[in-house]
Amino acid sequence: MAIPRQPMPEQDPVARGRTFAEVNLGYEVETAVLEATRCLACRRPPCVAGCPVGVRIDEFVPLIATRDFAAAARIVAEDNALAAICGRVCPQEAQCEGVCVLERKHRSVAIGNLERFIADWDRERGGSELSPPTPTGHRVAVVGAGPAGLTCAADLARMGHEVTIFEALHEPGGVLAYGIPPYRLPRDVVDAEVGRIRELGVSLETDAVIGMAGSIDDLLHAEGFDAVFVGSGAGAPRFLDIPGEDLVGVSTANEFLTRVNLMKAYRPGATTPVYDLQGARVAVFGGGNTAMDAVRTALRLGASDAMIMYRRTIEDMPARREEIHHAEDEGVQLMTLLAPIEFIGDDEGRLTAVRLVVMAQGEPDSSGRRRPEPIPGSEFIEEIQAAIVAIGNDPNPILRRTTADLDHTSRGTIVVDPESGATTKPGVFAGGDIVTGGATVILAMGAGRRAAREIDECLRADA
Amino acid sequence: MARVLDTSETGPGITRLRIDAPRVAKHWRAGQFVIIRPTARSERIPLTIAAADPHAGWIEVIVQAVGRTTMAIAATPAGGDLCDVVGPLGVPSDLETYGHVVVVGGGVGTAVAYPTAVALAAAGNRVTVIVGGRSRDLVILEAEMRAAGLEVIVTTDDGSAGLHGLVTDALATIIETDRPDRVIAAGPIPMMQAVAAATRTKGIPTMASLNPIMVDGTGMCGGCRVRVDGEVRFACIDGPEFDAHKVDFDVLTLRNRAYREFEQSQRAMAETP
């Protein structure tokens, strides 16, 4: 193959590590066209099967190569209501790009970069016109405006159903609004994509905590919805459960990122406070994407040392490779095979240090990774002024507590039929992290899409 | 957006707002709170729902203007809008029939104690309310509670109204003369801590309505975490009421100081004309 995979232009790592502006700059038109010409347009395209929402990659990429951007944008928009977001945050290497036939000998087509290019191109021109559906007269409630709920709502609206999304926070987007930082996903991109879903006729009620302000039963009976989709995510943070975790200076990644991203604490004049990290030594515990988001955000808030402390090795980190490399390029220190055993504070109850123990790799555990085991006598103390705990989330218990006849697993996730997303409660479907536990944006979208299809079939069958 | 229907001053720097919030009013029970974000630039802060009318669709909150955000809420006029009002949040107060219940409210914490006191009386309890303030004009809701048929004891630090002394002095007297079956406290942390100390040795079940810093109020951040019986609990979804004898008030005190400097600078900014 003569043409190499076109790299994504990026901001200079040193400069960008101090601002919240987007790191990846996006393809120029000529770069996108060149990259698109690398696609072999396979007859049985594995990339389409590798995409959880089945975007017709084999059709839209060749259209970019022939410069028919409008047609390419329409094809993407038909299958993906959040393409500009997916092009930015999907782990393509594990999905569409991972199965691209070019990946074996050369590098795969940069499908994510092309999806982002075409979605940005389309958004900047006001978005594709999609044909309006015939109203069915059915009403569906969607609980949660994260990736699963937004996708489900968009699909149902295109099928002609009247959809209302109930969102607990004051802004839609779920993890796209409070979790993923603006340097990875600019807020105007999220606003534009949510805006397009509302243009499809979807109503959005923010500040509505279903389970507290009315139950799922209220939606089905008192409020007259014909079906409910639950996409409330996995937003309840886990703790390390070690001494000193109550100290001022220790927060969960959810709290830290919510303050910074949703409440805009990074902006001058913000009224929501965040710990002052200027010149601070900050430790983030965890090795997933949330940990990378937190540590890179800490760097942007002025941390002198932004450190990942992870109990396994870099190879074992669940974070995307791209995220780990970005973090390292910006100056994040990756400290591996370490586990915190105690947070230490001063008389005022403020964090001053963490006691750590060095880990050795033991036998493989159920995840296939070698289990880390503490090395006796290897404890040491590291001075830090802030600690951010990013070791995962569990489903929020509010719905579980207020909806008795919705079956849950012992982990607090909702039990569903994996094909249809149907729960044990008639008329109620669920998908995304509330079913799988913490996973990815695109898997949640795939679940929202499958549930929409099933809800549509049920409603049409009943009619 | 939530429309403010009416506002009134119930004390110096203490404002009562009636807010149009049909969904909240319909599902509210005593002990629950709302998160309010007065403007699009504001932070989110928790306030207890003091009263609600599910038919008319309004709720009432009582806010003491102590910082930038509470000042912004208090300054919203009737006919004005609050950007966001989310609720009802938190676990409602337990409303069994206990017998004699003493509800202790300190300062603006009386606004937290008030709806629970009224609901406990409606549940068939004999309710004595002890309302404390630094001085006469900082004692709030006395008339409303008397009108609701509750027995009210007022205490002031300076003796300008009611008994001269602290709420715990009045509580100590009641414990000796008319032993309560249950005590509920809402107010400043030292007050709740003192109430817990007074009832612990007597074995009187006591609940405290905790007031940690909150962000979302729905259990997703853990900013409001408190230590109860050695366990981490989230005040927003597991509380805000907890067994006062098991609460680690020292942790609550420390954590509530986390942003003190920031809050002081915000207050100074809000006060600068």
Rounded Cα distance between A24 and A323, Å, is 11
Give every CB contact of residue A34 below 8 A, 6+ residues apart in sequence. A3, A6
**Cα-trace Rg, chain A:** 23
Q: Which of A10-24, A132-146, B141-155 has the lowest mean pLDDT?
A: A10-24
CA neighbor of A268 nearest in space, from B82, B38, B41: B41
Nearest to B217 by CA among B20, B47, B94, B27: B47
Which positions in chain A have a beta carbon within 8 angstroms of at least one beta carbon in chain B? 168-170, 178, 206-209, 212-214, 235-237, 239, 241, 245-248, 251-252, 254-255, 258-259, 263, 269-273, 275-276, 348-349, 396-398
**Which residues of chain B does A273 touch, with a Cβ-Cβ cutoff of 8 Å?**
43, 259, 262-263, 266
Is the predicted pLDDT of residue B243 greater than 60, yes or no? yes
One domain, residues B136 and B251: yes
Same domain, B29 and B107: no
Question: Which one-letter amino acid corresponds to residue A129?
Answer: E
CATH number (domain holding residue B9): 2.40.30.10
In 3D, which of B145, B144, B167, B171 has the Cα closest to residue B154?
Answer: B167
Same domain, B156 and B113: yes
How much is the pTM? Answer: 0.93
Within 8 A of A221 by CB-CB distance, chain B residues are none
The yes-or-no verdict on residue A284 having pLDDT over 60 is: yes
Give the pLDDT band (50/70/90) at residue B33.
Answer: very high
Distance CA A412, CA A400 (A): 8
Task: Tell how far CA B158 is from the center of its chain.
Answer: 22
Cβ-based contacts of A253 with chain B (< 8 Å): none
Mutate to test the interface with A, among B20, B86, B221 (most CBs of A within 10 A): B221
Both B164 and B211 in one domain: the answer is yes
A296 C-beta neighbours (distance < 10 Å), count: 26
Res. B265: pLDDT tops 90: no
SS3 content of chain B, % helix, strand, coil (to 5): 30, 35, 35
pLDDT band at A128 (very low <50, low <70, confident <90, very high): low
Phi-psi region of A110 (alpha: psi -120 to 50; beta: other; left: phi over 0): beta
Query: pLDDT higher for B210 or A269?
Result: B210
Considering only the beta carbons, identify the residue of B26, B216, B227 that sits closest to A169: B216
Q: A237 vs chain B: nearest CA distance in angstroms?
A: 6
| Cβ–Cβ gap A396/B254 under 8 Å | no
Q: Which of A164, A263, A272 to mutate to test the interface with B (most CBs of B within 10 A)?
A: A272
- Give buried/exposed letters for A119-138 (b at 16+ CB in 10 A, else e): bbbbbeeebbebeeeeebeb
Query: Is the pLDDT reported for residue B272 higher than 70?
Result: no
Same structural domain, B34 and B120: no
B83 in contact with A, Cβ within 8 Å: yes
- Is pLDDT at B259 greater than 80 in this prediction? yes
Spatial neighbors of A305 by CB under 8 A, at least 6 apart, are: A280, A281, A282, A333
For residue B157, is it within any domain? yes
Question: How far away is chain A from the Cα of B137, in angstroms, using its nearest Cα?
Answer: 30
Q: Are residues B75 and B105 in the same domain?
A: no
pLDDT in tens, A361-417: 988 888 788 899 999 999 999 999 999 999 999 998 888 888 888 999 988 899 999
- What is the Cα–Cα distance from B64 to B47, expressed in whole angstroms? 10
CA B102, CA B129: separation in Å to the nearest integer?
Answer: 6
Closest by Cβ to A212, choosing from B68, B87, B248: B87
The residue among A154, A165, A109 whose CA lies nearest residue A130 is: A154
Do B118 and B75 belong to one domain? no
Q: What's the rounded Cα separation, in Å, for the pair A69 and A127? A: 12
Domain final residue pick, B63, B89, B115 = B89
Do residues B39 and B152 share a domain?
no
Q: Regarding beta strands B84-89 and B33-37, do their DSSP bridges make them parallel or antiparallel, or are they unpaired?
A: antiparallel
Domain for residue B94, yes or no?
no
Q: Which of A178, A207, A251 sits opposite B84 (nearest CB)?
A: A207
Closest CA to A384 of A437, A340, A324, A416: A340
Is the Cα torsion angle A89, A93, A99, A105 positive or negative in sign? positive
Q: Number of folded domains in chain B?
A: 2
> Can you give the pLDDT at residue A130?
67
| Cis peptide upstream of residue A132 (ω within 30 degrees of 0) | no
CB contact under 8 Å between A251 and B223, yes or no, is yes
Nearest partner of B247 among B211, B213, B201, judged by Cα: B211
What are the chain B neighbours of A397 within 8 Å (beta carbons)? 219, 237
In terms of domains, do B130 and B233 share one? yes
For residue B135, give the CATH number of its domain.
Answer: 3.40.50.80
Which candidate from B23, B248, B255 shows the least CB-CB separation from A214? B23
User: Using CA atoms, how far apart are residues B99 and B88, in angstroms rounded to an integer?
Assistant: 28
pLDDT in tens, A166-224: 999 999 999 999 999 999 999 999 998 899 889 889 999 999 999 999 999 999 999 99
Can you give the pLDDT at residue A355? 98
Could you give the residue ranges of the DSSP H alpha helices within A276-383?
289-300, 321-330
Report the alpha-carbon distance of residue A302 to residue A310 in Å, rounded: 22
Instruction: Give the percent of chain A with pLDDT over 70.
Output: 99
Structure tokens at B181: 């079956």
Indicate if the pLDDT at residue B24 is higher than 80: yes
pLDDT digit string (tens) for B161-206? 888 889 999 999 999 999 999 999 999 999 999 999 999 999 999 9
d(CA B24, CA A213): 6
Asked, for residue B270, whether it belongs to a domain, the answer is no
Claim to verify: residue B252 and residue B133 sit in the same structural domain: yes
Report whether pLDDT(B273) > 60: no
- Which domain does B17 fall in, by range? 2-89
Tell me the per-residue pLDDT of A60-92, one tens digit each, with 9 for 90 and over: 999 999 999 999 999 998 888 889 999 998 888
Query: Does B84 share its domain with B104?
Result: no
Identify whether B190 is part of a domain. Answer: yes
pLDDT of residue A463: 60
Q: What type of residue is A244?
A: G
Whether pLDDT at A248 is above 60: yes
> Has residue B26 been placed in a domain?
yes
Mean pLDDT of A256-275: 88
What is the pLDDT at residue B102?
96
CA pair distance B23, A223, nearest whole angstrom:
12
The answer to whether residues A240 and A391 touch, using CB atoms and an 8 Å cutoff, is yes
> How far, in Å, CA of B66 to CA of B262, rounded?
13
- A418 pLDDT more than 90: no
In a domain, B265, yes or no: no
Same domain, B218 and B118: yes
Q: Is residue B273 part of a domain?
A: no
Q: Which pLDDT score, from 0 to 100, does residue A1 have?
A: 53
Instruction: List, as own/partner pairs, every contact residues B153-159 make where C-beta atoms lie below 8 angstroms and the sequence separation is at least 24, other chains included.
Output: B153/B128, B153/B129, B155/B130, B155/B131, B156/B132, B157/B132, B157/B133, B158/B134
**pLDDT at B240 (0 to 100):** 96
What pLDDT sits at residue A304?
95
- Percent of chain B whose predicted confidence (pLDDT) is above 90: 75
Domain boundary among B60, B89, B118: B89
Name which of A170, A248, A251 is nearest B84 (Cβ-Cβ). Answer: A170
Average pLDDT taken over every residue of chain B: 92
**Can you tell me the ipTM of this complex?**
0.93
B263 located within any domain: no
Question: Residue A129 has what pLDDT?
Answer: 67
Q: Residue B223: what are its φ and ψ, rounded to 5°?
A: -65, -30
Kindly report the average pLDDT of chain A as a whole number. 92
Give the pLDDT band (50/70/90) at residue A13.
confident
